[in-house]
Amino acid sequence: MEEQILDYFGSFEEDSRIVVARHFFRASEAHLYAARLREAGIPHYISNTNIMTALPLGGGGDIGLHVRAQDLEEATRIIARLDFQKQQSADPDFRDADLDDIEYERQLSEASTNERLHPYWYWALVLIALLVALRAYLRASGAVNRWWDFF
């Protein structure tokens, strides 16, 4: 069998109606779903992968997986099965964590909180910045000639 690129629809009848089976946010996920459709022998193609890869800051969900209208029912079943499998594997199971894992996560959490500055330092830095800006304004307006007159 001759290998074809994944998002190539191949030959189809002129009167075939093409519909979108699903929209995706990431091209990699669309290609995984397309591979399953390809295994099932369903002709398909993926649209908008180039623009969503080049400009990923768009609205998202614009990558389409297209099939023939006559194959939509079977494609929808395959897509639903893949969505279910993805949902099952996405739910983390924390019952497998042992005491070493819990201790490691606790140390990571403590390290990240210890490395942050205390909130008072932020307010002190903001106050210093405001004082410098006020001094610059007063010097520019001529109200203060020397820097020590301000303090």
Indicate which CATH number applies to the domain containing 39. Answer: 3.30.70
How many domains does the chain contain in total?
1
Q: Is 24 among the domain residues?
A: yes
Cα separation, 45 vs 97, in Å, equals 42
Q: Is 99 among the domain residues?
A: no
Q: Is 114 among the domain residues?
A: no
Q: Is 54 among the domain residues?
A: yes
Q: Is 138 among the domain residues?
A: no
Check the CA dihedral 76-81-82-86 and report its sign.
positive
Model confidence pTM above 0.85: no
Q: Is 112 among the domain residues?
A: no
3-state DSSP assignment of residue 18? strand
Query: What pLDDT score does 131 carry?
Result: 87
Domain carrying residue 71: 18-91
Query: What pLDDT score does 1 carry?
Result: 43
Cα separation, 94 vs 114, in Å, equals 26
Q: Is 150 among the domain residues?
A: no
Query: What pLDDT score does 118 carry?
Result: 67
Query: Whose CA is closest to 19, among 39, 41, 45, 53?
Result: 45
Tens-digit pLDDT profile for the chain (151 aa)? 455 454 455 666 677 788 999 988 888 888 899 999 999 999 888 888 776 666 666 565 688 899 999 999 999 999 999 998 888 776 566 666 778 878 888 887 776 655 566 677 778 888 999 988 887 888 778 777 665 665 5
Cα separation, 4 vs 34, in Å, equals 13
